[in-house]
Amino acid sequence: MDEPLPLPPIENWWPYLSVGARHEVRGAPDRDLSRHVRAEIERALGVPVPLRAHLTSDDQRFVEFDINAAD
């Protein structure tokens, strides 16, 4: 099986995701990102996002912290 590809640093694109895209990422943090989420990241950064892009364990901790900080 091919290794999923890493994303640009989450700090650079997470603040620009729509609420729906954030919920999608939070709902399946260990899966490859959907076309919709990748497109939002591409729009935010102006760079292509690999097809099999996924969150790293550090990215998952960032998302978890963001959830807890919002509470």
- pLDDT at residue 9, rounded to an integer: 93
- pLDDT at residue 29, rounded to an integer: 86
pLDDT digits over 20-64, tens only? 999 999 998 889 999 999 999 999 999 999 998 999 999 999 998
20 or 65, higher pLDDT? 20
Domain ranges in the chain are 10-70
| Pair 36, 21: CB distance under 8 Å | yes
Alpha carbon dihedral 28, 44, 56, 23, in 10-degree steps, equals -20
Interatomic CA distance for residues 13 and 60, integer angstroms: 14
2 or 15, higher pLDDT? 15
- pTM given for the model: 0.83
